[in-house]
Chains A and B, each alone.
Chain A
Amino acid sequence: MTDRYDAAIIGAGADGLTAAALLARAGQRVVVLERRAEPGGRLVTREFHPGFRAAPFADALPPVPDDLFRRLDLARHGAWRAPAADAVALWPDRFAVVPRRFEAEAEARRAAALAHAALPEPPAPPRWNILAKPAADIWPADDWTRASLADLAEADAPLLLDAPALDPFAPGTALRLLSKPEDGPWRGGLGGLGAALLAAAREAGAQIACNREVGDIRSENGRVTALATAEGGDIAARAVLSTLDLKRTFLSLFPWSALPSATVKQIGAFRMQGSTARLLCALSVRPRSPLLAALPRGAVHVMPDARALVDAHAAWRAGIISEKLPLTLRFPSRVDPGLAPTGGAVMTVSIGAVPHTLFDGVWTNEKRNLLTARALDAIEQVFPGIGATIVGLELLTPPDIEQQLGATAGDLDGGEIAPDQMFAFRPGLSRKSPRTPVQGLYLAGPSSAAGPLGTCAAGAIAADALLADLRGGTLP
């Protein structure tokens, strides 16, 4: 066949573009297929109200590992990093800068876990020191696979995450610190990172095809042969790298009979549940709160409270819109004034503990309005008068995120971040992750081991594995 690629990549997000750049630079013929009209995935910025733009799914992502930043040569392609901005917790009468207590520790753990995930065949089973550590006198919560966020927090300094849906007292929740987003380091916001990645991929010679939705992954005898696009026509490839999540990759792109039943069962048991809604607000005037001027430019956590989180988590599990919602605000136009017309401002709200599936039916307009009203009421308490300046709103519930981003159940984490779904257990299909039980199919994206550990990291690890197999001759 003349038109056969070495690697076909599904999804032109951070992972897809990273993998494309690395593979193309290594001399492989690479095509990236993107369902949407423009590449970028979570890194895109779009107009949600005339003249106002925002990144719909996230304003901040976990950091790009330093060595990868250099390896992709992102600085030359226009990405520029500034020190991360501080986050604050805000109440009607006071605010507190969230201390950066665990950043260094999280960074060290991420680096160790990524090094582990990059091994050609990680020594199985991974111990993570679970059994090796001697129990101290009262069993201190020293390991993040066992510690809860409440264990790590001190009474006066809560550990705050973006839009969480979790019980901060449950063991293992400390692992969420690994995927904590880093605020504000990219010039031009996340779009700046996206543009640099795209430039890097294009320069390396990767072909990027937008408006091409993949309908099926064709396989023969347990080996990937081609991608079938929704418009019709097959794209033959020696290997396929999927940056979609686990369930979407396997349960919607394969006929079920093409996979071993044990694999299908295992994938079915992988827990994915959306919990974040996004509210994009266009403000006619910049908020004039003297408080805001004094605040750092990072995330603003609205009236955080561990007890309320427990209740919100219980409501979320039951499919109820909680009365008290965990809210994280950002004002991207403070960092990038070009996102709003002169004098205006953009505020984005990440709302946590929002169920994907409500217990009493679908997301009707009434329920969307209820969610919006509850969020705006809480914001009004800390920024009085801000509601009156809102001229445009867009609400993205988890089903909207699922539909627009293609994330199963609207889960932005690509699967619950829990001890049994992290590290070598993520996704746990194959000991030689990112390889999968289907030969020639590689899983990058949020459900892979490296997914929550850094932006672009999963793409790089999958690309390296694919390259090693292409060169080693394991792929025909």
Chain B
Amino acid sequence: MSETRYDAIVIGAGVGGLAAAALLAKAGRHTLLVERQPALFGTLAPATLSALDPRLAKMLKLAKHGFGYAARDLPLAAPNLLLSRDRHATARSLASLMPTDAAAYTVWRREMLSLAKALRPAWWDGKAVAEVSLKPAQRVLLDRLTVSSAIAHLCARFESDALRAALAFAAAECGAVPSEPGSALALLWSAAQEANGAQGAVSLPKGGVLALLRALSDAAQAAGAEVRTATPVARLLTSGGAVTGVELAAGESIETPLVFCALGRRHTLATLLPPAELGLGTARTLARPVEEIGNAVLVFALSAAPNLPAPPDARFLIAERPEIYESAFAEARAGRNAREPVLELVREEPTRLVVRVWPVAPSYARSDLVRTVTLMIERHASGFANLVVSADLLEPETTAPVPLERLLASAQSRIETPLRGLYMVGADAEPANALSGRAARLAVALSQKARPR
């Protein structure tokens, strides 16, 4: 016999949902997590993490729940290019590519990292970007970045196409379209993140991102959160502008004053709420179609280690020219598979290759995608196609491109909703798309401020 009243209900068991459930349960709230899928997490996930909230990891003591890093900072490799934390190796690699870029890269990286660090209060603690105090030179750079596209910004700073394309990847990775104005700010956001204490690093967790999900779910359940899988939510129950409960697809109603939703904001507001709960303006904005694009994760099991022209621990990027991003995103938007998508290859184990593919349209053709990707890798690692034992595709999640507003908005406006008691903790409650859990931490803090026990 299940209870029909909880202090808080979390919808969706991604990083955001699990983190919210764990934090709420730890704070002593009687918490229920509902997940639509039959299992809490699947068997496939991207390999790397770049934006996990360090404070969340500390609060939930994730290390005690089995979470750890296999590699702290993966170098970024591309054909003829290697960017790593070793400054000298990076300078050598750049000097052989384009001598002027070696010096320009050092300057650029220093400027970006210091500005990004100054903006952390906005992106990490919920201050508005406009309120952060900056030096005049930093303010000028920030202003330029907010109106520039990542590609235009990088083209103005560097000469070599390989370097431009490699650096633009950070913007694509967090959901921006690198050829669109404002995406340069996504580069900055990405530079503000840290992994395992290193700013701007991309790290490989032991056991991949699945290990993070396991650790979070361990932490949530150890703290007493209840979990129900195969439990889709039909709608939210509301009264007088506040959430009062959740109605499950099975028909059951559960009372709760607090709902943390890890689904998309648009989806939540448009499908889980009665339209009358939203203002006319919001309802109209929701009705406007948005073009969604996203990325896919392909996991190749191989019979032997692939022969990639990069160190084994590096992320290998296949995006030779900056124009690739523009044409690939244009094709994805038109609903076609990109003929030449952007690929990021990570060797999770010597014979397990995790490939992220950008961009993917909602109506992608699955078999084509696997073939295109295999052929593209084959061009850089001859014999690759013959090594493939199996290729598994993680269903791509598509979202609307990250708008500039999200990167500049205060945490409150990303997380709170027109409805009291409803908080967003999903991917689009973060400033940019990344597995971070920071929105969950901020949402729980906001809810506790609004309704102290």
Are B148 and A420 in touch, CB under 8 angstroms?
yes
- The residue in chain B whose Cβ has the minimal distance to the Cβ of A311 is B334
CB-CB contacts below 8 Å: A103-138 with B: 124-127, 130-132, 134-138
Are B333 and A310 in touch, CB under 8 angstroms?
yes
Residues of chain B lying within 8 A (CB to CB) of residue A125: 139-140, 143
Given the contacts A135-B405, A135-B413, A425 and B147 also touching, CB distance less than 8 Å: yes
Are B404 and A171 in touch, CB under 8 angstroms?
yes
Residues of chain B lying within 8 A (CB to CB) of residue A138: 265-266, 269, 282, 285-286
Can you report 28 A-B residue pairs in the complex whose CB atoms are below 8 A from each other? A130-B147, A135-B406, A137-B269, A137-B282, A138-B282, A139-B403, A139-B409, A140-B281, A146-B182, A146-B403, A146-B404, A146-B405, A169-B291, A171-B403, A269-B155, A269-B156, A310-B330, A310-B333, A311-B334, A314-B326, A317-B323, A317-B326, A318-B327, A418-B149, A418-B181, A419-B148, A420-B153, A425-B147
B394-429: CB near A (< 8 Å → 1, else 0) gives 000000000111101110011001100000000000
B344-383: CB near A (< 8 Å → 1, else 0) gives 0000000000000000000000000000000000000000
Residues of chain B lying within 8 A (CB to CB) of residue A266: 156
Are A419 and B333 in touch, CB under 8 angstroms?
no
- The residue in chain B whose Cβ has the minimal distance to the Cβ of A424 is B143
How many residues of B sit at the interface, in one of the four size bands?
35 or more
Interface contact tally, CB-CB below 8 A: 110
Q: Which of A124, A170, A314 contacts B180 (CB 8 A)?
A: A170
Are B333 and A130 in touch, CB under 8 angstroms?
no
Question: CB of B129 within 8 A of chain A?
Answer: yes
- The residue in chain A whose Cβ has the minimal distance to the Cβ of B128 is A131
Would you list the 9 A-B pairs with minimal beta carbon distance, nearest first? A135-B409, A269-B156, A419-B147, A131-B130, A139-B405, A420-B148, A172-B181, A135-B413, A125-B143
Question: CB of A167 within 8 A of chain B?
Answer: yes
Known: A132-B130, A265-B156. 6 other contacts (CB 8 A): A137-B285, A171-B182, A172-B147, A271-B152, A317-B327, A418-B181
Question: CB of B31 within 8 A of chain A?
Answer: no
A269 to B153, CA, bound (A): 9
B359 to chain A, nearest CB (A): 14
A425 to B145, CA, bound (A): 11
Are A171 and B180 in touch, CB under 8 angstroms?
yes
Question: CB of A455 within 8 A of chain B?
Answer: no
Partner-B contacts on A (CB < 8 A): 124-127, 130-132, 134-140, 145-146, 167, 169-172, 265-266, 269, 271, 307, 310-311, 313-314, 317-318, 418-420, 422, 425
Residues of chain B lying within 8 A (CB to CB) of residue A131: 128-130, 146, 408
Are B323 and A307 in touch, CB under 8 angstroms?
no
A180 to B312, CA, bound (A): 54
Are A420 and B285 in touch, CB under 8 angstroms?
no
Residues of chain A lying within 8 A (CB to CB) of residue B413: 134-137
Are B180 and A130 in touch, CB under 8 angstroms?
no
- The residue in chain B whose Cβ has the minimal distance to the Cβ of A172 is B181
A127 to B129, CA, bound (A): 13
Residues of chain B lying within 8 A (CB to CB) of residue A170: 179-181
Residues of chain B lying within 8 A (CB to CB) of residue A172: 147, 180-182
A425 to B143, CA, bound (A): 10
- The residue in chain A whose Cβ has the minimal distance to the Cβ of B278 is A137
Question: CB of B61 within 8 A of chain A?
Answer: no
Question: CB of B144 within 8 A of chain A?
Answer: yes
A139 to B285, CA, bound (A): 9
Residues of chain A lying within 8 A (CB to CB) of residue B330: 167, 310, 313-314
Given the contacts A135-B405, A317-B323, A425 and B265 also touching, CB distance less than 8 Å: no
Given the contacts A139-B403, A145-B147, A130 and B326 also touching, CB distance less than 8 Å: no
A317 to B327, CA, bound (A): 9
B220 to chain A, nearest CB (A): 29
B119-162: CB near A (< 8 Å → 1, else 0) gives 00000000011100000000110011011110011011000000
Residues of chain A lying within 8 A (CB to CB) of residue B282: 137-138
Residues of chain A lying within 8 A (CB to CB) of residue B333: 169, 310
B301 to chain A, nearest CB (A): 36
A167 to B331, CA, bound (A): 12
